[in-house]
């Protein structure tokens, strides 16, 4: 969640996740004033959660953490 997924190590990630998102990317977008509204921040956060749940099985710690963050 904190940094972009290393697609050199996780070679099938982009076949599952079309638009990667992570907290470091969100921070860079905040710093660069890319976001024009709080809704845009919320949309990227929701994308991060959807990506984590799409790629990881519900039995994994990654999916469970994403589920907790979603609440």
Residue 5 domain-assigned? no
CATH number for the domain spanning 33: value is: 1.20.920.10
Instruction: Please compute the mean of the pLDDT values over residues 14-34 and round it to a whole number.
Output: 99
Residue 3 domain-assigned? no
What six digits make up the tokens of 68? 């907790």
Contacts of 13 (CB under 8 A, 6+ apart): 5, 7, 20, 55
Residue 58 domain-assigned? yes
What six digits make up the tokens of 9? 């190590």
| Residue whose C-alpha is closest to residue 50's, from 28, 19, 23 | 19
**pTM for the structure as a whole:** 0.94
Which residues span the domain enclosing 50? 13-70
Residue 37 domain-assigned? yes
pLDDT single digits (tens) 35-48: 999 999 999 999 99
Residue 19 domain-assigned? yes
Task: Give the count of domains, the chain.
Answer: 1
């Amino acid at each position: 969640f904190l940094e972009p997924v290393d697609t050199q190590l996780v070679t099938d990630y982009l076949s599952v996740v079309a638009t990667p998102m992570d907290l470091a990317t969100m921070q860079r977008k905040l710093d660069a004033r890319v976001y024009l509204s709080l809704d845009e921040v919320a949309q990227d956060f929701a994308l991060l959660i959807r990506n984590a749940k799409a790629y990881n099985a519900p039995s994994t710690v990654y999916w469970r953490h994403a589920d907790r963050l979603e609440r």
